[in-house]
Structure 1
C-alpha cells in the first residue's frame, strides 16, 4: 500500500499538469485561430484521415451532436470536407483538405515545441520511468472504468 499523502500529491500533480498543459496548448492554438477541440480533431484526422463522424466522435470522446457542430465549424474554415461513405450513404467520411493538412502540420509542430519545453532538463531515462509510471496508472484507470 502506498503512502496516502504521497498518492494524493501525485494525483494533484497529475491533475495540475493536465490542466496547465491544456491551458498552454489552448492559448497557443487560439493564436492560430483554432480551438482546442478543433486542434484535437485535426490531430486525429492526421492519423486517420477518412474516418467517419461516429468513429471520430468516439476517438475524441465527445457526443454526436457535439461532433456535428465541431465539423460544421471546421468545414466552414476549410479544414475538412465530408464525403458520403460508399457502404452507408447516411454516414459521412471526414477528409482533411490540403489547407487542413497544412494547419495540422503546424499544430503538430507546435505540440512538439511544447513537449520539448515541458520536458526540458529531463534525462531520457527519467522520461522513460515517468512514462512507465503514467502508463501503469492509465491501464489501472481503464481497468476500473470497465468494471
Structure 2
C-alpha cells in the first residue's frame, strides 16, 4: 500500500519550508550588515576559534564545494573582516581568522539573528527549542 499522507505531514517538506522561512528571515536580518547567509556563516566559523579555521574545513562544515568558499572569503577579506594566512600545519592550505572588526560585526549580526529566530520560534518553549536544536544537530553531518 502506498503512503498517501498529506504533504503537511511530510518531514522533508516541513524541514524545507522551515529552512526557507529561517533563511528568508536571516537574509533580511543580515542585510544591514551587508552580509548574506553564506558570508555570515563563513565569518561566524572564522570567529569560533582564536587560531582560525581551515578554508577546506569551512567548506565541509557548510556542505559547499571548496571553490564556492573562495569568493566568500575574498569578499570578507576585502572588507577587512577576516584575514587569510598560510596554515602552519600544511602550507598548501589557508587558515581563515576573523579580525577585530569581523568579530564585532559578527556579534552584532548574531544578536540580530537571535532576535529573528526567537520571533520565528516564539510558539515553542525553551525546552522545545533545545530539543529541536539537538534533533537538527543529529541530522547534520
TM-score (norm 1): 0.78
Q: Is 1:41 aligned to residue 42 of structure 2? A: yes
Q: 2:122 corresponds to which residue?
A: 120
Taking a change above 3 Å as real, the CA distance of residues 114 and 36 of structure 1, as seen in their structure-2 partners, is: same
What's the secondary structure of 1:122's corresponding residue? coil
Structure 1 segments (4+ residues) deviating >6 Å:
none
1:123-134 aligned at under 5 Å gives the runs 123-127=125-129, 131=132
**Separation in 1 of the partners of 2:86 and 2:41?**
23
The C-alpha deviation readout for 1:57-94, integer Å capped at 9, x for no partner, is 11111112111111011100111001111122221111
Aligned partners of 1:136 and 1:18: how far apart in 2? 11
Residue 16 (structure 1) shift: 1.4
Q: Which has a greater percent of helix?
A: 1
Query: Residues 127, 75 of structure 1: CA spacing in aligned structure 2 closer, same or farther, 3 A cutoff?
Result: closer
Helix, strand or coil: the match of 1:5? Answer: coil
Relative contact order (alpha carbons < 8 A, sep ≥ 6): 1 or 2 greater?
A: 2
Matches within 5 A, 1:47-86: 47-49=48-50, 50-86=52-88
Aligned 8 A contact 2:55 2:93 in 1: yes
Q: CA deviation at 1:31?
A: 2.4
Match of residue 94, structure 2, among 92, 95, 100? 92
Task: Give yes or no for contact 2:29–2:116 (8 Å, CA) kept in 1.
Answer: no
Deviations 1:13-32 (A, max 9, x none): 33211111101101221222
Change (3 A) 1:71 1:24: same
For the structure 1 residues 112 and 65, does the alpha-carbon distance in structure 2 shift closer, same or farther, using more than 3 Å as the test? same
Cα 1:4/1:46, change in 2 over 3 Å: farther
- Counterparts of 1:136 and 1:100, CA distance in 2: 27
Question: If the length of structure 2 is used for normalisation, what is the TM-score?
Answer: 0.81
